[in-house]
Chains A and B, each alone.
Chain A
């Protein structure tokens, strides 16, 4: 897969060095200028906002589900969270357009005295955060479950409260696993296309606040595939974009999976 994408993106790499392509800010395919920086920044902003929202909420939920909740609650919520993971991304997109975008336009943006169409980094971040919840919760509860009960009991026996046990014992032990969960979530957010495409506004400029529109990398690929064969080097540039996306996501995933494998191995 990497080879095939590299093969197709070679024409543009032969003309310009990779560094120039990635750091230039002008995107004018008709003049042969392909600068990926606005798109990369757009992706980073949206992913950053999504992770900032998703991490505290989903970690607290995962702790609650694995450390506090009675068995019945756990059995009821697991299928619901799986369901959240199964909803197609276009449906999240529709929901974002119908609910989040008007909310930002009419309520959140005026609060800060900014005029916004609602199609913004924040909208993308919120929608992505919801899509990332199930992944982080799922992986984090697995990690919490892999921690032996004796360790918790030892801490509780010393008179620690439950929260202290979670804070000093469980969290410390689970830290690598939690980081792996967050990295997996981030890589999902990084590559998510349709939902983001529908709510971020797609303006090719580096966003300067969360209420600005953005144009993430996957959205760029999706939007321009139709006309890419008619402009020279355009297809090459877009395939380079998907190659960059693939490499970043692969790197994230490999790191996270290695950490998780280590944890699993330590259990046996």
Chain B
């Protein structure tokens, strides 16, 4: 036997084994959530708020957290989109090729992407203290918007960079201004990528717990004002896992199930939307 062939074989087995281990772990995680969460699901679970306090009360569901999470992630995605889109348009339509500012901006978004969410939470909290704001839906939206801004901006930037320069040049040749070109050509051409970026950012925002822990707080009721604390699914999981009552833990499992299903749906939707909107793109 050739030693080289043996070595090749050994490593090939090792590689396959590790690839399968990773896929197996993924399946195991999803299976655990489904097995624990599915029995806990019921109509009451998703249509009622917890009765008698989320930590102790044994009745009721997690409607407060579902609504809170959707409001929070939706608001944050909107804020991040409004802040991120002009930056991306600047980078792609206005900045000169190889401009130092553009390079530095991209680099800092890459670095910000790696900052832990708890730091965003702590930072959001100090900002809120500065403005004299308590834990509120608004505070949570600000912290999560900061958290997802780098994800969204970099994802949108990547697709806009792929827009062929001939298209923008054609638009300039027709006498369009930079602004018209960026809105009517760049945005339209990059629409599928933008939709994916928004969905990805929404998914990241809805799943994050550490940044909303001090900024959005937690409450038993459905959020009705920007200045009141709001419940979120990740925190519903975290707090209700910690109780000694199985009935309350059920709520945590149900929340985990809903959250995972949401994230799954979002990532599938992101893939589909990329394909669907691709029709409008000029090739």
Contact = CB atoms under 8 A, between A and B. Distances in A.
A242 B118 contact: yes
A218 B210 contact: yes
Interface residues of A, number: 66
A80 interface: yes
Contacts of A92: 29
A70 interface: no
Given A64-B16, A225-B214, A218 B116 contact: yes
Contact of A86 (B15, B207, B241): B207
Given A64-B16, A161-B5, A249 B209 contact: no
A79 B123 contact: no
A175 interface: no
B254 to A, nearest CB: 11
Contact of B18 (A56, A87, A218): A56
A192 interface: yes
A184 interface: yes
A222 B213 contact: yes
Nearest to B16: A64
B178 interface: no
Query: Which of A4, A87, A130 has the most chain B CB atoms inside 10 A of its CB?
Result: A87
Interface of B: 4-5, 7-8, 11-12, 14-19, 21-23, 25-26, 28-29, 32-33, 36, 107, 110-111, 113-119, 121-123, 125-127, 203-204, 206-210, 213-214, 234-235, 237-238, 241, 252-253, 256, 259-260, 263-264, 266-267, 271
9 contacts: A4-B126, A58-B18, A61-B19, A80-B23, A81-B22, A88-B208, A194-B234, A198-B241, A242-B123
Interface of A: 1, 4-5, 7-8, 56-58, 60-61, 63-65, 68, 77, 79-84, 86-95, 97-99, 130, 133, 137, 161-164, 184, 187-188, 190-194, 198, 218, 221-222, 225, 238-239, 242, 245-246, 249-250, 252-254, 257, 261
